[in-house]
Amino acid sequence: MTTAAMHLTVLGAGVMGTSITTLALGHGLPVELVDVDEEKLTKARAAIERQLRMAQLMAALPADVRRGELVTSVDSEGAAGSVAVIEAITEDAGLKAKVLAEVAAAVRPGTPLITNTSSIPIAELATAVPRPEELIGTHFMNPPYLITTVEVIRGPQTGDRTLASVRSLLTELGRQAIVVRDAPGFVTSRVLHPMINDAIRIVHDGTASAEDVDALMQGCLGHPTGPLRTADLIGLDNLADSLWVLLQRTGDEGCRPCPLLLDLIERGDLGRKTGRGFYHYEESLQ
């Protein structure tokens, strides 16, 4: 399936892909959401409807803008007519490189290729695409339709035109772009994820409960949700993937995922998206 010209293509119908799609639709942009799994796309449509209702109730979307049209597809052929492509698949450098290479061959030259990543250096992924000047990174925070600041990562080969286009897109989406240089984990993940890992170690060692760790970080240090609720929102599997990337690329042993984190993932308790992580939730985000 294809959409009209000047639509946005989002690759990946997981938590981040659906939430980025919600943000774009709520600001009037038509979106083609692509995933190889039809069932996942069906679930994504329902999740996007829930998120749009929530965002509207919270006045997080412009009230005077008509919602953009959503089209879903199991292939990226429609990306040829898109104003930009946002890749939002799992945090796996090999998979991201493969998907970016495929979509780069489908889009028109000059189309920004945006990889949404929490930790993988853009320079690594740029080797997979024929026009590395068109590749740039973003790190949307979850949920993107509520958090108004976006970390933008300029790779060593990212062109001025690509950066300007992505700034303009984020402005259209009502987001503030903070541009940083390329490095493993950039700013937010390099600071936040090892800190969350340390918080998990405290629970693992029996020093304090998850609730008490979060209460202390909120009440004493002003963390808005606490590191362990934040971990549940990120997704414990996504957090571990990011920590492995940081460990492999920096050698910082503080980034080695805590055994408790790996145990929860092994049990399938991945946080908000499965209904259970460090906390229990009435419904999952999947």
- Residue range 167-183, pLDDT digits in tens: 999 999 999 999 999 99
Round to whole Å and give the CA distance between 118 and 116. Answer: 7
Structure-block tokens of residue 270: 């991945």
Q: How many whole angstroms separate alpha carbon 200 and alpha carbon 14?
A: 25
Tell me how crowded residue 248 is: count the other CB atoms within 10 A of its CB: 12
Residue type, 6: M
Q: What is the DSSP string of 260-276?
A: HHHHHHHHT--BGGGTB
In angstroms, rounded to a whole number, what is the distance separating the alpha carbons of residues 247 and 104?
29
User: 33: closest CA among 14, 52, 59, 51?
Assistant: 14
Does domain 7-181 sit in CATH 3.40.50.720?
A: yes
- What is the pLDDT at residue 262? 98
Give CA angle at 140 (279, 249), nearest 5°: 85
**Residue ranges of the chain whose pLDDT lies below 70:** 1-5, 284-286
* CATH number belonging to the domain at 188-274, selected among 3.30.530.20, 1.10.1040.10, 3.90.1150.10, 1.10.3720.10: 1.10.1040.10
Active site residue 27: no
Residue 108 pLDDT: 94
CB-CB contact of 190 with 180 (8 Å) = no
Domain extent listing, the chain: 7-181, 188-274
* Cα(121)–Cα(45) distance, integer angstroms: 31
Query: What pLDDT is attached to residue 215?
Result: 98
| pLDDT of the residue at 284 | 64
Is this structure's pTM higher than 0.85?
A: yes
Of 7, 27, 139, 223, which one is the catalytic site residue? 139
**Of 230, 191, 226, which Cα lies nearest the Cα of 208?**
226
Number of C-beta neighbours around residue 43 at 10 A = 17
Q: Are strands 149-154 and 135-139 parallel, antiparallel or unpaired?
A: antiparallel
pLDDT above 90: percentage of residues in the chain: 95
Sheet with 135-139: list strands edge to edge: 70-73, 31-34, 7-11, 82-87, 113-116, 135-139, 149-154, 176-181
pLDDT at 78: 87
As to burial, measured by CB atoms within 10 angstroms (0-12 exposed, 13-18 middle, 19+ buried), residue 77 is middle
DSSP-assigned letter for residue 86? E
